[in-house]
Amino acid sequence: MSRAAVLCGLGGSLPERIVSNEELAEQLDTSDRWIRTRTGIGQRHVVAPGQSTSDLAVAAGAQALASARATAGQADDGADLVDPVDLVVLATSTPDRPCPATAPDVAHRLGLGHVPSFDVSAVCTGFVYALATAASMITAGIAGRALVIGADTFSTILDPADRTTRAIFGDGAGAVVLRAGDSGEPGALLGFDLGSDGSGADLITVRAGGSRQRSVPGPAAEGEEFFTMDGRPVFTRAVLDMSRSSQSLLERVGWNAAEVDKVVAHQANIRILNAVGEQLGLEEKQIVANLDRVGNTVAASIPLALRDAVAGGELQPGHRVLLTGFGGGLTWGSAALVWPELETGRPHR
Ligand code: ACO
């Protein structure tokens, strides 16, 4: 056995307002039928005016911390298992402001004191990257207990006239708590596979707002402040890179695909999930999907899918779980763990 980061708390938060496919079809040239058949999405949550990524991150973080406390309270040796969190890593591509990072504000509002806290930017792969970062800091002895949050509010950067992106993306936050433990325990993160390919940087992008655009005097060109995605090549790469990354991690961990109980992939499109399942030779029951209810919530997607799978009883202690994500950058990443006993309480929406 060796020192490992062990998942010990889980939470999530969705904004109140739900936008149905029918509501989108009233505003744009689209239909419930197109969105459901091409993406599997039925509705998405969007923030209210004035609500931001940090608000969702704080709510999800508070729930994950409560889950970790409740889980530890159940353990045989009692409440002294609850050490204070000494690291906050927030995955987001929609920070409250370009500078500074959003994580320090989230840590402050959660009352976590002067802990190290920073943002990780890897778009839809952000949560897996943040998980790997926090887990590495725990195994290196730099941290003992970490709050890892994935939170995004893509509704704030979408072009209101873009029927494709508006059909797909939703807002949300998901969070987990990691503690130091050993590699033989349920919940221990057993390995990661991470990668990137910057030659695809233009496929998923917001052109304006960064140093390249701002170094030129004058305002950004019209529309460049909005998020854009070239759907077809992204679709192909998402299937290829999540399948390859999953396969290479499975080999490293020593599992074959049939031994995996649940694959919790980034919830981009049901057709992508099914194609990854086909590439890996998975059965439908192995694939977790909640995108019909929340859409693509970017960095929140994987922890929200975990939360919903636990709440629905689909994900059980002892299950072998493979997480895999793909997103802008291009970036991709996978992680493996055996699902632990967790107290999660009732999901907050
Ligand atoms: N309603 C109706 N028609 C639409 C809509 C819509 N909401 N959106 C697109 N269309 C139209 C297109 O305009 C196009 O029309 P045309 O043939 O007249 O030009 C037609 O439907 C087909 O368009 P495609 O882009 O080929 O549609 P596709 O089946 O590929 O679906 C989609 C588009 C859903 C975007 C898909 O390509 C996809 O899921 N891509 C991957 C997204 C992804 O994985 N993202 C993950 C990373 S995202 C991140 O990191 C932030």
Strands 145-152 and 87-91: parallel
Backbone angles phi, psi at 202, to 5 degrees: -80, -10
pLDDT score recorded for residue 347: 53
Neighbours of 332 (CB within 10 A): 29
| Sign of the dihedral through C-alpha 157, 17, 349, 15 | positive
* pLDDT score of 151 more than 70: yes
Ligand 1 center from residue 232 Cα (angstroms): 7
Q: Which carries the bigger pLDDT value, residue 346 or residue 84?
A: 84
Task: Report the nearest-CA residue for atom 34 of ligand 1.
Answer: 39
Which domains, and CATH codes, for the chain? 3-182 (3.40.47.10), 189-338 (3.40.47.10)
- The verdict on whether 290 is a catalytic residue reads no
* pLDDT score of 74 more than 60: no
Task: Report the nearest-CA residue for atom 29 of ligand 1.
Answer: 38
Q: Give pLDDT tens digits for 188-242.
A: 999 999 999 999 999 999 999 999 999 999 999 999 999 999 999 999 999 999 9
* pLDDT score of 85 more than 60: yes
Determine the Cα–Cα distance for residues 293 and 296; give it in Å rounded to an integer. 10
Active-site hit among 45, 266, 269, 290: 266
Determine the Cα–Cα distance for residues 77 and 146; give it in Å rounded to an integer. 21
Determine the Cα–Cα distance for residues 268 and 298; give it in Å rounded to an integer. 8
Q: Give pLDDT tens digits for 248-258.
A: 999 999 999 99
Q: Give pLDDT tens digits for 267-290.
A: 999 999 999 999 999 999 999 999
Task: Report the nearest-CA residue for atom 47 of ligand 1.
Answer: 327
Ligand 1 atom with the smallest distance to the CA of 271 is 39
Ligand 1 center from residue 234 Cα (angstroms): 10
- The verdict on whether 296 is a catalytic residue reads yes
Asked if residue 234 has its Cβ within 6 Å of ligand 1, the reply is yes
Asked if residue 328 has its Cβ within 6 Å of ligand 1, the reply is yes
Query: How many separate helices (H) and strands (E) can be counted in the chain?
Result: 11, 13
pTM: 0.95
Axis-axis angle for helices 301-311, 126-139 (nearest 10):
80
Determine the Cα–Cα distance for residues 27 and 49; give it in Å rounded to an integer. 18
pLDDT score recorded for residue 346: 57
